[in-house]
Amino acid sequence: MRLFVLLALLLATPAAAQPVARFDWFEYRGEDAVDRANPPAPDQYRNPILQGFYPDPSVTRVGKDFYLVTSTFGYFPGIPVFHSRDLVSWTQIGNAIDRPGQLDFKQLGLSRGVFAPTIQAKAGIFYILNTCVDCGGNFVITAKNPAGPWSDPVWLPDLEGGIDPSLFFDTDGKTWILNNGPPEGTPEYQGHRAIWIQQFDLKSLKPIGPRKVLVNGGVDFSTKPIWIEGPHIFRKDGWYYLSCAEGGTAEGHSQVILRSKSVTGPYAANPTNPILTQRGLPGDRANPITSAGHAQLVTTPDGQWWATFLAVRPYADDFYSTGRETFLMPVRWENGWPRITDPGQVIPWTHARPDLPAQPAPSVPTNGGFAVRDAFDDAKLAPYWMMLRNPRSNWFTLADGALRMQARGVGLGDKGNPSFLARRQQHQNASAETVVRFAPEKDGDRAGIAVLQNDDYWFFLGLKQIEGRLVVALERREGPDAPATGEVVTTLDAGTFGIAPGNPLALRIEVRGNRYIFSYARVLGSPDVPMMAWRPLTEHTTDALTTKTAGGFVGSVFGVFAGRAE
């Protein structure tokens, strides 16, 4: 939340004069049929607990308080930090990467950057371990307060080539660091990885001593298992348990468990692995939840076991635009092994709540049907707002109840840091609305609303100057071979319905699975409480804004954008 003060300090020289777009407010609204069909009872909670692009959850408990972090890849600020006391009601309290100088995402693809963080605590210090893929490698940051500020990264070069680091604090006072890394020798097949362990010095924040492989390939090497990753060790009843994701993050995803009497092994696999998966279930089942894995187990103060993990909600087949989301399920123990789902068991949409004092609903909802309106009345944006990569200059301000953004020569397809602020799409059926005021100065100047999966796949709806005329334009980019500037799909002369440069124009993008509807309206009455007669400009049906088509690990976002031709 310190981001928007720190950005003001980022400027070395004032930016050149550029047209400025004003946004009066932004509203996100969403509700899915499954939300209405599965309302939780008073003693139940709803899955996912964090809807939208909140993948790779890591959870830890300190006393009565739970803290959770997720991946953000090339978005900034990065690594949101959540707090809860009942594992159900989660409030974002900050972002661990909230200073431009902590990491540099350069011009990396949006699905590079920060992968799979873990959060842990000991003796009043919180630790987040993470990997900045293609931008520095593995690192650890620390804080006395999980809300921040978090330290600058301390790099871990001993883990070169690895990802998904985590710590284990043993009862003898020793600390160990785990990670996914290349196997010893030459990999024998695509996706052949290993889990490594090494002792870790908390004072110097450096690994010490020899590194050792705990798992080669996966729980059954003869089957050529892929992508053993996300390792966590915990101790129970004299056993060390090693919990890992296996099978990749698509529909073959799963969670497996091994155990040993020694922290350094050898580890024997649970004979009934995996302990969590949705693979092998009927593909035509209603309202499917798929691709479940990357779990972390946590105990409540009275010893109950629960797990957070990621999964996805396709709107059809394996198509989803909401990204990988955070789910919660109880863990039961059978014959000395933990279990999250039985073979063939579907992940439930609702479940009995943990036996913990129920907390008030968060001020910003995280699941079910809801609407969130940002009036831009505060001195800083809410912590869920993000931008593409690190900012290099201060290109937006909040003042007088409005968000103002410079229209700069960085586009949505340029793999840079455009004047684009966004929030996650959290429903299959959702809408985003805003009011923009913009007076372009030359052809190519534009400002409005966008829905974006990554740099190569997006739609933009807004005001634009083309051949000296002010128009309402819809632009899109569908694929890396398309022009980075996008292509104009359709336009409407703004003057035909009374919109002149600088006049307020309402814009809306709706999504219904893979159907996108683009609308505009004149603003009648107060901009804060407008009366708008929406007019559809056009609509498109496309699976382009899904992970299946676009690739990568992120989900779609809605946001406001201002740009200009260079």
Mean pLDDT for the stretch of residues 466-493:
97
Residue in the block written with tokens 């000296």: 468
Q: Average pLDDT over the chain, rounded to whole?
A: 95
The pLDDT value given to residue 530 = 62
pLDDT tens, position by position, 415-456: 999 999 999 999 999 999 999 999 999 999 999 999 999 999
The pLDDT value given to residue 526 = 66
Q: Which helix (H) or strand (E) holds 27?
A: strand 20-30
pLDDT tens, position by position, 35-93: 999 999 999 999 999 999 999 999 999 999 999 999 999 999 999 999 999 999 999 99
Question: Above 80 in pLDDT, residue 525?
Answer: no
Q: Which residues pair with 332 in a beta bridge?
A: 339
Q: Which residues pair with 290 in a beta bridge?
A: 312
Residue from 367, 196, 192, 342 nearest 280 by CA: 342
Cα 243 to Cα 101, 216, 314, 323, distances in angstroms: 34, 14, 26, 23
Residue pair 191/226 in contact (Cβ under 8 Å)? The answer is yes
Residue pair 226/238 in contact (Cβ under 8 Å)? The answer is no
SS3 letters across 92-129: EEEEEECCCCCCCCCCCCCCCEEEEEEEEEECCEEEEE
Amino acid at the residue 442: K
Rounded distance between C-alpha atoms, residue 551 and residue 348, angstroms: 27
Write down the catalytic residue from 56, 251, 374, 456: 56
Residue pair 460/477 in contact (Cβ under 8 Å)? The answer is no
Q: What percent of the chain has pLDDT over 90?
A: 94
Nearest 5 degrees, angle CA 269-CA 279-CA 273? 10
Question: Above 70 in pLDDT, residue 190?
Answer: yes
- DSSP 8-state symbol, 316: B
The pLDDT value given to residue 17 = 75
User: In 532-548, which positions are buried (b, 16+ CB within 10 angstroms) versus exposed (e)?
Assistant: beeeebeebeebbbbbe
H helix count then E strand count, the chain: 3, 40
The pLDDT value given to residue 13 = 34
Rounded distance between C-alpha atoms, residue 381 and residue 403, angstroms: 9
What's the number of CA atoms in the CB half-sphere (13 Å) around residue 66?
24
Rounded distance between C-alpha atoms, residue 231 and residue 167, angstroms: 9
Residue in the block written with tokens 């932004």: 26
Mean pLDDT for the stretch of residues 189-213:
97
The pLDDT value given to residue 383 = 98
The pLDDT value given to residue 16 = 53
Question: Above 80 in pLDDT, residue 560?
Answer: yes
pLDDT tens, position by position, 128-160: 999 999 999 999 999 999 999 999 999 999 999
Q: Which two tokens stand for residue 7?
A: 């950005």
Spell out the residues 6+ positions from residue 192 whose beta carbon is closer than 8 angstroms to its own: 183, 217, 224, 226
Question: Above 80 in pLDDT, residue 10?
Answer: no
Q: Residue ranges of the alpha helices (H) in 130-278? A: none
Question: Above 60 in pLDDT, residue 272?
Answer: yes
The domain limits of the chain are: 51-352, 370-563
The pLDDT value given to residue 529 = 62
Identify whether 229 is a catalytic site residue.
Answer: yes
The pLDDT value given to residue 566 = 77
DSSP sequence for 513-562: TTEEEEEEEE-BS-SSS-B---EEEEEEE-STTSHHHH-SS---EEEEEE
The pLDDT value given to residue 524 = 79
- The set of long-range contacts for 197-205, using a CB threshold of 8 Å and a minimum separation of 24, is 197/263, 197/264, 197/265, 198/158, 199/174, 199/175, 200/167, 200/175, 200/176, 201/175, 202/122, 202/125, 202/175, 205/140, 205/142, 205/154
The reply to whether CATH 2.60.120.200 applies to domain 370-563 is: yes
Residue in the block written with tokens 């900034």: 76
- Minimum mean pLDDT range among 5-19, 309-323, 361-375: 5-19
- pLDDT category, 12, cuts 50, 70, 90? very low
Rounded distance between C-alpha atoms, residue 494 and residue 248, angstroms: 48
Q: Which residues pair with 181 in a beta bridge?
A: 194
Note the residue count of the chain. 566
Q: What percent of the chain has pLDDT over 70?
A: 96
Instruction: Calculate the CA 504 to chain-centre distance.
Output: 32
Write down the catalytic residue from 164, 229, 374, 433: 229
What CATH number has the domain spanning 51-352?
2.115.10.20
